[in-house]
């Protein structure tokens, strides 16, 4: 009986040691920072025309200093001032003059851009500049409108440098 017991113990010990050696390490979690900040190129206050299309309202920068790409799936933008959500007929997000997302006027004060596949992916060590543009509704003369960054959903927890608001635009 003693020989059988030693053999069984040796097999159990070898199996346990073998499992520990063959267990693969999980992926390395991302480290670093992902920062959202107002761009120095964000538009200055201006007069805009009712019915005008593609007005630049806000520009912000996504800076990825992590060790992996960061995918952004959601961005929220607030409509503020004396104008309302109905003062704008459509909002757009642009990166390098490419339209990456848009939403129609059914946003009631906050426009939530969302794409499960990703609105934009910022590679490790790079930045992306996002321009928020809007179409101005007719019949809005005399209103003041500005857009503000409200939030972001990304694959890495961002740091947001608030306040992050665009300049006030006056509709003529």
* Model confidence pLDDT, tens digit, residues 69-109: 999 999 999 999 998 768 999 999 999 999 999 998 766 78
Quote the number of domains for the chain: 1
The whole-angstrom separation of Cα 111 and Cα 75 is 8
In a domain, 17, yes or no: no
Q: What is the mean pLDDT of the chain?
A: 87
The whole-angstrom separation of Cα 51 and Cα 54 is 10
Mean pLDDT for the stretch of residues 124-128: 98
pLDDT: is 4 or 131 the higher one? 131
At residue 6 the predicted structure's pLDDT band, cuts being 50, 70 and 90, is: very low
pLDDT value of position 108: 76
Q: Structural domain of residue 108, as residue ranges?
A: 34-171
In a domain, 23, yes or no: no
In a domain, 18, yes or no: no
% residues pLDDT > 70 (the chain)? 81
| CATH number for the domain harbouring residue 83 | 2.60.40.1290
29-33, 68-72, 116-120: which has the minimum mean pLDDT?
Answer: 29-33
In a domain, 122, yes or no: yes
Q: Could you tell me which residues are beta bridge partners of residue 128?
A: 62
In a domain, 5, yes or no: no
Residue burial 24-58, b: 16+ Cβ < 10 Å; e: rest: eeeeeebeeebebbbbeebbeeeebeeebeebbbb
In a domain, 15, yes or no: no
**How many CA atoms does the CB half-sphere of 68 hold within 13 Å?**
12
In a domain, 156, yes or no: yes
At residue 163 the predicted structure's pLDDT band, cuts being 50, 70 and 90, is: confident
Q: Residue 83 to residues 79, 139, 149: CA-CA distances in angstroms?
A: 8, 11, 17
In a domain, 6, yes or no: no
The whole-angstrom separation of Cα 137 and Cα 87 is 5
Q: Which of 22-26, 40-44, 101-105: highest mean pLDDT?
A: 40-44
Please list, in sequence order, all residues whose beta carbon lies within 8 angstroms of the beta carbon of residue 8, skipping any fewer than 6 positions away. none
Overall pTM surpassing 0.85 (yes/no): no
Q: Is pLDDT of 12 > 70?
A: no
Task: Determine how many CB atoms are found less than 10 A away from the CB of residue 170.
Answer: 16
pLDDT value of position 16: 41
């Amino acid at each position: 009986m003693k020989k059988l017991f030693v053999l069984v113990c040796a097999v159990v010990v070898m199996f346990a040691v073998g499992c520990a050696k063959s267990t693969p390490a999980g992926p390395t979690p991302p480290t670093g920072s992902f920062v959202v900040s107002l761009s120095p190129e964000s538009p200055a206050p201006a007069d805009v025309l009712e019915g005008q299309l593609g007005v630049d309202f806000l520009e912000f920068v996504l800076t990825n200093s992590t060790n992996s790409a960061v995918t952004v799936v959601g961005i929220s933008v607030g409509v503020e001032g004396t104008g309302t959500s109905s003062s704008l007929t459509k909002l757009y997000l642009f990166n390098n003059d490419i339209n990456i997302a848009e939403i129609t006027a059914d946003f009631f004060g906050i426009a939530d851009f969302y794409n499960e596949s990703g609105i934009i992916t910022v590679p490790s060590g790079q930045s992306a500049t996002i321009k928020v543009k809007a179409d101005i509704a007719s019949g809005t003369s005399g209103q003041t409108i500005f857009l503000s960054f409200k939030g972001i959903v990304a694959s890495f927890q961002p740091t947001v440098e608030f306040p992050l608001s665009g300049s006030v635009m006056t509709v003529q």
